[in-house]
Structure 1
Amino acid sequence: MTDDRRALPPALSEAHEVGFDYRDGAGVDFEPYPDFLDAGETAEWWRAWTGNAELDGSELRVFGQDGTGGLAVFLGSEGETGVLAQNLWAYLWLLADGFGPWEATAYPDHEHELPTDARLTEIATTPGAVAAQVGE
């Protein structure tokens, strides 16, 4: 298996380093990876999730999971699916608002109440930082 890990864009890496409010199971249920899952692991996971051995998931960049093993796209361990954000910038705002991938899927109307995070808000509002990093 080839290890072709790619580094996370700096804003995403920095946001994940801030940490999450886990609140003994009542907070964010997300375990970020230090970098994107490599192509071999992504292909193995994608084939298992879809049941299609011909797919390789090469268009996906997996960067974390919830406590049950559901991966952040969001494709849950029990078959749940959801669009978390249309781009990196929107994902950073999701984190700043106190949501992780599972919470965004489970509480689409933002019924989940966690405080916003000042450092994550700062990361999300850094002018040009996110746009410049998306293509990296």
Structure 2
Amino acid sequence: MAKFRFEFLLEMAQEARERAVAAMSEAQAAEQGARDRLAQIRHYADEYRQRLTRSAQAGITVVQFRDYQLFLGKLDDATKQQAAEVARLAGETEAALARFAECEKKLKAYEALKTRHASQQSKLELAREQKLLDEFNSRRR
């Protein structure tokens, strides 16, 4: 039986897919981590706003109010930065998913070629066997 001549390319495609899966997994984990951090920052900012409201109702000085506002501004900046990071990482995740899909497509093509090759080789082998049987039977007569 003839060897599948694209075996090396099939192996390379399998390795590329494995790398793409790992990269996609890393990208998804990084994105989820960034989303979690964004949620934490937003939660903390909400708690801090509630604390400001309670403190203002109880009575605070102008300096204390300004400090609350400054810190809330920093939290808002942190929220914007983290949201930008989430968007960047979401883009990386999408790119990793696209690379995985491309690797999967190539791998499926090579697997289809290998399957077709195996089928052709089986047909050739059956034809050879049939020819040998026919020759054997014709000699017996």
TM-score w.r.t. structure 1 length?
0.20
Compare relative contact order (CA 8 Å, sep 6+) and give the higher one, 1 or 2: 2
Which structure shows the higher helix fraction? 2
